[in-house]
Homo-oligomer: A and B are copies of this chain.
Amino acid sequence: MVYRRTHQVVKRLAARRSAILAAARDAAAEGGMAAVQIAPVAIRANVAAGTVYRYFPSKADLISELIADVSRDELAAIRRAADAAPGPSSALAAAVTTVAVHVLSQRKLAWGILAEPVDVDVTASRLVNRREIAGEIASRIDAAVRAGHLPAQDTALAATALLGALHESLVGPLAPDNSDDSGKLRDAVQTVTLLALRAVGVMDARARGLVVQAVLPAKALVGA
């Protein structure tokens, strides 16, 4: 053999792969999953359509990896916010607020990742994504229960319900479009976080305090 993958080539290939994924992500952020079509993504990434298939076996694989990527980021953000909180209840509040802020700051992307119809089957990837996020929330609820701050409950179901409430009210089709008014955005985050905390059994007064504490550090993110 007179050809060998040199380090430089390996790096270029990896860069191209990332460029394609980034192009897909940009497209999704701008126009939702509907905009993630092979030809347009290829153009964005400065490659030909066929090249995409040298990196991803199919569109389903491309989108699945996109979903996994975005989920990884979100999960990390949730953990960071929760771990920085002083106690289990604050951690739960911080986690919920983080989810709310994230989906609001990238509504189209979030909708695409979560629920937007796609022509190929990405249910498996979406399932993994939801499971991870829900699992994280569930374990935070669990910690608060063990600390005696919340009544015992089916934490997995509660976590799923919480996420459903957040998503539906913030990026679902009925969600009001407040994307230009950052004050209303904060209000929405607060209101929904309050609902979520009360749902799992935080007493009203205490919940209000937790919400205020959790929303303050998240303010900066709203602009992102």
Contact = CB atoms under 8 A, between A and B. Distances in A.
Given A117-B118, A198-B199, A198-B201, A168 B161 contact: yes
A168 B165 CA distance: 8
A185 to B, nearest CB: 13
A136 to B, nearest CB: 13
Interface string A147-171: 0000101100110111111111100
B127 A174 contact: yes
Nearest to A116: B117
A192 interface: yes
Nearest to A207: B201
B158 A172 contact: no
Give the contact-size bracket for chain A: 35 or more
A223 interface: no
Contacts of A130: 172-174
A18 interface: no
Q: How would you classify the secondary structure of chain A's contact residues: helix, strand, loop or mixed?
A: helix
A212 interface: no
Contacts of A69: none
Interface string A180-196: 00000000100110011
Given A117-B117, A117-B118, A151-B204, A172 B198 contact: no
A33 to B, nearest CB: 9
B174 A134 contact: yes
A164 B153 contact: no
Given A195-B200, A199-B196, A204-B201, A169 B173 contact: no
A15 interface: no
Contacts of A157: 169, 188, 191-192, 195
B199 A165 contact: yes
A126 B195 contact: no
A222 to B, nearest CB: 17
Nearest to A120: B117
Nearest to A151: B204
Interface of A: 115-119, 123, 126-127, 130-131, 134, 151, 153-154, 157-158, 160-169, 172-175, 188, 191-192, 195-196, 198-201, 204
